[in-house]
Amino acid sequence: MKKRIAIAIAAGFALSASAAVLQEWTFDEVAGKGVHQLSNSGTPGDAVWSYGATDKYVTDGNGNLNILPGTSGYNSAPFAAALAGSETYSFEVTVGAWAAGTTNVQLQCKLGAEVEIYAIVDPVNGLVFKFKADGKYQSVTASTNLTGTTEHTARIDFNIDAGTAAYFIDNVDVTGSWVDLTGLTFDNASSMIWQKSGGFTTADPSTVLKISSQRLSNTDAPEGVYVVDKYVSSDNNSAITHTVRTFNVQTGDVIVVVSSSSSKDEPAEGSVVFSGGTATLDAVESARANEYKGCSTRYWYTTATSSGTVPVEVQRNGTAYWITGVYHLRSSDGYTVPTLMGGPQAAAWDAAQSVTNSYTLGTNYAGVFIEAISTYGTGYWDPSNADTTVTYGNQHKRNIGSGAFRGVASLDNIWSSTNAATQVTLVGLAFASMPDGIEPTNQEKYDIWLSGYSVDAETGMMDHGDSDGLNNLTEYMWGGEPDNAASQGNSPVQSMVNDSGTDYLEYIYYELDDAASRGMASIFEVGTGLVITNWADASGYETGRGASSQVGLDVVTNRIPTDVEAKRFIRLQIEFTP
């Protein structure tokens, strides 16, 4: 079903009317900044760029790192522990413009002391791969000339356990055959973003190499939202304040805390504190199920709005036994913020034998749910009849656990007891995102957009999340912020113009540059009356369409002659097809 919303009616006028990223480096600092240290946006959190002469490496304000002429050297970013195991990893570097006269610039993935894999920016051959194993070099007979401003990506896929590696330029396999790594030893891996040999003689003295990004990925990583790290503890009924763990997060990561307690008064809303770290966080959301004598459960969660560290501190007053679980969640693409799906759930019952947490999910989503349960009385709560696998700590009367889901419309987790007369409280949250390779529906694209704003219950397309007179769908199309009345996006503008002696009403409106792929369309119409309407298609008055100065928006210009009718009206509608 299509939704069509009238968003603007101009006044009547006559003749005079008017695949999981483990580690990624991006370079989005202000132009001209001499970079000394850039925090890693992925894991491990202790990886940093380190530089010698900082004035030789500056950002351009467009997301690129420019390596300038200077002395020889290199810059390393450790990958931490050896990348051993059955997984296949991908290391890639995206290179922009370069100009190197007699020098080679090496973009290197170093896997320990014996194995080095290079993407060589060669002044003659362009981008060439070389492989060094056991002190010997092997060249890959493929190249892409990088002279100029064309952006290219060099990628290396390697599996240490299988002993293989393959090379790609702009996603084209140029290996010929997989390179044999069998028998070589690997220790802590690291990458060097560049290493220069020889003196610089540049065609462009201002820039030797422009690097857009560097990324390390696990190509076998989970899809959708997954658990990066977790911590579960059990405390006795003594007063205690402690930092359970410090998590290294990137922008968009979510920290979830759930707790199960033997007291109806604990945990309190302020019992968990996120403070003292280097990451900035959204406001903490917290609630608990209806408490009963001797049992209570609560959740807290917050989203990182910048990369850095997040210490999680638990404060207890000593009147209850606790189990606390802390979960660090991330979307597999490294960018998408995990979306709260069908939760938070909060269920409770008295003198019954079962309780259900129901989640409304999307068949195109993958993610995890996290639950905490607390009971008053004896008996062990058996999770064996849950609809999906849950890992629970076998704590008597109190449990915390999580499970994964993918491609299910809804999920019911049913917990039961052999004890016919006891009380229980249960909370749960489910977070999900689109797995790589799955195209979201138009409705899901809208939901994903809206999830980035705080509109409370005003989530409908006709709702006004910020009471500014524009509904959410209109702000979606015009690039507005539905939770900020001062940011309505780009509203239409109209004026009178004269071209070659003819007067026109010029009407200019904006729309998303990918509106069609989101099920969106602007419907521009003209009529001669408002009492007896005769709206007709006005697309024939369009005189121009193209990219606007606003990122992500196209601009459409229309001119309607004023000498055809004595009076005319125009309107613009937004049409949405789920």
Mean pLDDT of 209-219: 63
How far is residue 550 from each of residues 336, 450, 555, measured CA to CA in Å?
A: 22, 19, 9
Contact 191, 86 (CB under 8 A): no
Higher model confidence: residue 102 or residue 226?
A: 226
Higher model confidence: residue 540 or residue 464?
A: 540
Q: Which residues contact 545 (CB under 8 A, 6 or more apart)?
A: 554, 555, 556, 557
pLDDT tens across 167-200, in order?
777 777 766 555 555 555 444 444 444 444 443 3
**pLDDT at residue 5, rounded to an integer:** 36
Position 156 pLDDT exceeds 60:
yes
Position 208 pLDDT exceeds 90:
no
170-179, 341-350, 566-575: range with highest mean pLDDT: 566-575
Position 523 pLDDT exceeds 90:
yes
405-419, 453-467, 547-561: range with highest mean pLDDT: 547-561
Lowest mean pLDDT among 190-199, 297-306, 315-324, 442-451: 190-199
Contact 82, 188 (CB under 8 A): yes
Distance CA 380, CA 394 (A): 8
Contact 509, 572 (CB under 8 A): yes
**pLDDT at residue 117, rounded to an integer:** 54
Nearest to 193 by CA among 70, 122, 94, 271: 94
Q: Which residues contact 347 (CB under 8 A, 6 or more apart)?
A: 289, 355, 356, 357, 425, 426, 427
Mean pLDDT score across all residues of the chain: 68
Position 99 pLDDT exceeds 80:
no
Higher model confidence: residue 139 or residue 521?
A: 521
Q: Which residues contact 415 (CB under 8 A, 6 or more apart)?
A: 354, 355, 356, 373, 381, 382, 383, 385, 386, 424, 426
**pLDDT at residue 50, rounded to an integer:** 44
Buried b / exposed e over 513-523, threshold 16 CB at 10 Å, is: bebeebbbbbb
Distance CA 527, CA 536 (A): 6
116-130, 151-165, 250-264, 284-298: range with highest mean pLDDT: 250-264
**pLDDT at residue 511, rounded to an integer:** 94
Position 305 pLDDT exceeds 60:
yes
Distance CA 163, CA 180 (A): 6
**pLDDT at residue 297, rounded to an integer:** 84
**pLDDT at residue 132, rounded to an integer:** 55
Task: Kindly list the structural domains of the chain, giving each domain's residue range(s) and its CATH number in brackets, ordered by start.
Answer: 1-18+456-578 (no CATH), 21-218 (2.60.120.200), 225-433 (no CATH)
Position 73 pLDDT exceeds 50:
no
Contact 252, 336 (CB under 8 A): yes
Higher model confidence: residue 294 or residue 327?
A: 327
Position 221 pLDDT exceeds 70:
no
Identify the bridge partners of residue 47 per DSSP, sorted by sequence position. Answer: none
Contact 120, 127 (CB under 8 A): yes
**pLDDT at residue 521, rounded to an integer:** 94
Contact 317, 262 (CB under 8 A): no
Q: Which SS3 state, helix, strand or coil, does residue 151 take?
A: coil
Per-residue confidence band for 399, with pLDDT thresholds at 50, 70 and 90: confident
Direct distance between the N- and C-terminal alpha carbons of the chain, in angstroms, rounded to an integer: 7
Q: Count Cβ atoms below 10 Å from residue 157 Cβ, excluding itself.
A: 19
